[in-house]
Amino acid sequence: MVRDDHPLRPGDVGGGGWLMTEHFDDQATELERLPAADFDAFFAEQAAPRPRQPLTLYGETYTLPDSLPLMFTLQMERVQDSSDLDDVRKMLASLFGADTLDTWAERGMTDRQFRIVLIYASANVNRPGSVSMQRAAELHDEREAEQAGKAPANRAARRSAAKKKGKRGSSGARS
């Protein structure tokens, strides 16, 4: 049951919803008097220098930022479902600078090497030194093995696995 002095009344919106009434104007006026949240000033205060991880690749030294740029994070999501090289270029540019993908490709970087560098870089941005190059390679290989294990087996492999477990595959006929 709704009290008469409640700022919301049922039925003011189609379908029996709730609608703010007389107290809304008082609250809006009160909010207008509050100072605006100044995130520029807040983030400037928070910008204490943090350690940054350098890395050398093909004779070039790159220094990772102290946190992942939003563009990198957004592009990383997009790249997973994209085959457009421009998406990859944009993602890398936010960490390593423009033309990085083309430079590395021209130098002969393999797909595995590329993924190891990404694992290493993304791990060491926020916590420099947290993942070694060797550990990045291990993480890459573990992920590759997991993905290979999830790949659907061919028909003969499924039958063989079912026989080993003592299960009989369906012939499609009903009994």
What does each of the 175 residues of the chain score in pLDDT, given as a tens digit? 444 554 544 444 444 455 555 555 666 677 677 888 999 999 988 887 888 999 999 999 999 998 888 888 888 888 887 778 888 898 899 899 999 999 999 999 999 999 999 999 999 998 999 999 999 999 999 999 998 886 544 455 555 555 555 544 444 444 4
Give the Å distances, CA to CA, from 94 to 35, 63, 74, 77, 174. 34, 12, 11, 14, 59
Q: Give the separation between CA 97 and CA 107, rounded to whole angstroms.
A: 16
